[in-house]
Homo-oligomer: A and B are copies of this chain.
Amino acid sequence: MPDEKKRTLLRAAEVSALEETGAHPWNPNSQLRGTRLGVPCGLKRTGVNLMKVAPHKESFILHAHHLEEEWVYVLSGRGIAEIDGKEYEVGPGDFMGFATPQVAHHLRNPFDEELVYLTGGENREVEIADFPKQGRRMIREGSKVQIYRLEDAEEFGPL
């Protein structure tokens, strides 16, 4: 589609209109509203998303990507970031950046105000991510996802 005219500008009103809801299936308290900003503009390798977590809800789940860089910039509200086993209260203007292989992290909103942040990172063809509290590893190739138990990993050697 080399001749397809790509969008380059999304107005704030369109960003609101494109809002979707989501939740991580392994965390019953996960609940988000958000807009994928890069996708309508044709960005393929770079993700940028506007996310909103309602009071007393959580973003996704504690996780650590092996391959994809990721970042978060808080726009409004407050949240609790769990990063590598410690908790930090974060608010407007705070930035989090997770180089690879990532330490495990998670963002939740135990406060009474909506937490709004911009987040993004790499969209790689293949990703490996760990979910330490569920003891699971995710292998994603394109859009195909498979889950393994971390404890099922064997070393390479005689079977």
Contacts and interface: CB of A to CB of B under 8 A. Distances in A.
Given A154-B146, A156-B147, A91 B12 contact: yes
A116 to B, nearest CB: 11
Interface of A: 6-12, 15, 25-26, 37-38, 40-46, 48, 50, 66-67, 69, 71, 73, 75, 81, 83-84, 88, 90-99, 101, 103, 105, 118, 120-122, 126, 128, 134, 136, 138-139, 141, 145-149, 152-159
Count of this chain's copies in the oligomeric assembly:
4
A101 B8 CA distance: 12
Given A9-B90, A73-B118, A97-B37, A152 B155 contact: no
The 6 closest A-B pairs by CB, nearest first: A41-B97, A12-B93, A42-B99, A145-B156, A146-B153, A147-B154
